[in-house]
Amino acid sequence: AWISEPYDIDDGQQASVGTSIGIAVSPGDGSAPDKLLRNADLALYRAKGDGRGTFRFFEPAMDEQMQARRIMEQDLRKALPAGEFELYYQPVVNLESSEISGFEALLRWNHPERGQVPPATFIPLAEEIGFIVPLGEWVIREACLAAARWPEHLNVAVNISAAQFRGSSLMPVVVNALAASGLHPARLEIEITETVLLHDREATIAVLHQLRALGIR
């Protein structure tokens, strides 16, 4: 507990240290130093995933899970050029008129061996490894192209990850997608979560204002 106690730094500011611990015990978890360190690192990865500020002992299942994660990461990077992603369109209904006002674009991954992989399985991994940026660009382009073929009163909604707001690529991607498809900006709706505002808040708000200035909702 004493490690996490806050301490004073310059200008009256305080800082605190958090710790997560992964534990591997010889000889059951390995006798060679490199294997012990590797298994302790796997346990540390689990400790961080379970909320940080805790400790975990190595278990053989952790190695299996990490191997499965590495395979999925490799498959994920290959999936975009291989054309394995697909957009489903969920209707959005205006309850006052009981008419469809547009559609929300939902991403699906059709794995050649595993079949359809749930978004809850691959989206967090894509965000963690940075793959969500090129994948998100593909979603925006495809959704705009599809919506441009719909009747003009139908809009399209696209979910944007917080990771896509980091850097300066989101605005050019959106502008290019609208230009390439011919879709009117007012027919595009960007959906975000509150986590978008947790990182670089001022820059993020500036991007939101730029999107709004284009007519995007």
Classify residue 55 as exposed, middle or buried by CB count within 10 Å of its CB (0-12, 13-18, 19+): middle
pLDDT one-digit tens code per residue, 28-39: 878 888 888 888
The residues facing 49 across adjacent strands are none
Structural contact between residues 24 and 43, judged by C-beta atoms closer than 8 angstroms: yes
- What are the backbone dihedrals phi and psi of residue 186, each rounded to the nearest 5 degrees, phi first? -65, -15
The structure's pTM equals: 0.73
pLDDT one-digit tens code per residue, 128-142: 888 999 999 999 999
pLDDT one-digit tens code per residue, 72-131: 899 999 999 999 999 999 999 999 999 999 999 999 999 999 899 989 989 988 988 889
